[in-house]
Amino acid sequence: MQHDDVIWDVIGNRAFCSFKVKTKVQNFCRNEYNITGLCNRSSCPLANSQYATIREEKGQCFLYMKVIERAAFPARMWEKVKLSKNYEKALEQIDQNLIYWPRFIRHKCKQRFTKITQYLIRIRKLTLKRQRKLVPLSRKVEAREKRKEEKALIAAQLDNAIEKELLERLKQGTYGDIYNFPIHAFDKALEHQDEESETDSEEEEEEDDEDVGKKEFVAEDEIEESDLNHSHFDRVEEDESEEEMEEEPEASGSKGKMPLKGAVFRKKRAYVEIEYEQEMEPVPKSKAT
């Protein structure tokens, strides 16, 4: 025989109930079959013979009803009714099953069912939206990568690399005639040239016009070869002059047109050069090395 009042007196008021959670203001009931979640005389599943709840399992709602005749077999005490996915139909089902039951339980069941469907809808909506994926970091791996990065940075010698690349581009003439260096190079080379070989440059002078269309300043080695082949450019014959020319970086396309002798020729050269440079097409800037 189930004496509800006695049970309630014991667990609710006087002695210990393992499902009760006491807070300053309220008492909660942690029993999974509790319909409201509070610890009350009317909500206690242990202290009420006639009791029903709604519970949700994997998106499916069930109506649980307590059959007090089977109080001796707690595992079989609760009867389960699967509710329809349609909200109104489910409410009707609840009504049908709990017909003649106390108003309180019917009402609370419907309230609970409504709440459950609402949160199920929200879950479905959220899964469609963006899901934040948490990627765990391994401390060891991170530390290792950090160290590798530091070493790579040291090995990279970035400043040097950038400077080298810029100077390369200057040599190759990607900057056109923005910078005045060629003239300086010319002057220097001129001085050297004047001191050393004048006859050679005379020979080269005639062939300079042929060079107008050419710009072959990819690498110094190549220039030397082309020089030897075509025999233009000052830095040809004499090793000394070659070395000196190599030392002096050549800024733009028409470098290497060594002026012959005297300032007059130098000026002429300059004019030719300017024209020459204008004819050049800009070298594409992006290169993947």
Partner 1 sequence: EERAVRLDKHTKKKTKKPKKQPKPPHENGNDSMIEKTEPEHVDAPAEFSFPPTFSVSEIKNKQRRHLMFMKLKQEKRKQKVAIKKKKKKERDALGDKAPPKEVPKTIENQRVYDETTVNPEDEEVAFDEGTDEFSAYFNRLTNPKVLITTSDRPRGRTVRFCNQLATVIPDAHVYYRRGLALKKVIPQCIARGFTYLMVINEDRKVPNGMVLCHLPDGPTAHFKVSSVRLRKEMKRRGKDPTEHSPEVILNNFTTRLGHSMGRLFAALFPHDPQFVGRQVATFHNQRDFIFFRFHRYIFKNEKRVGIQELGPRFTLKLRSLQKGTFDSKFGEYEWVLKRHENDVCRRRFNL
Task: Give the strand pairing for 60-66 and 78-82.
Answer: antiparallel
d(C-alpha 98, C-alpha 106), whole Å:
6
Q: Can you tell me which of 41, 146, 214, 267 binds partner 1, judged by CB under 8 A?
A: 146
d(C-alpha 246, C-alpha 248), whole Å:
5
Looking from the CA of 222 toward its CB, the CA atoms found within 13 Å total: 6
Residue number, 6 or 161, with CB nearest to partner 1: 161
Beta carbons within 10 angstroms of residue 228's beta carbon: 12
Burial class of residue 118, CB neighbours in 10 A (0-12, 13-18, 19+): exposed
Which range of residues in 63-71, 171-179, 190-198, 199-207 is near partner 1 by CB under 8 A?
171-179
Q: Can you tell me which of 68, 161, 228, 264 binds partner 1, judged by CB under 8 A?
A: 161
Find where tokens 């030719």 sit. 272
User: Applying CB under 8 A, does 119 fall inside the site for partner 1?
Assistant: no
User: Applying CB under 8 A, does 223 fall inside the site for partner 1?
Assistant: no
Length of the chain: 289
User: Applying CB under 8 A, does 145 fall inside the site for partner 1?
Assistant: yes
Which range of residues in 30-38, 49-57, 64-72, 143-151 is near partner 1 by CB under 8 A?
143-151
Interface residues with partner 1 (CB under 8 A) are: 129-130, 133, 141, 145-146, 148-149, 151-153, 155-156, 158-159, 161-163, 165-167, 169-170, 175-176, 178-179, 181, 184-185, 248-251, 282, 284-289
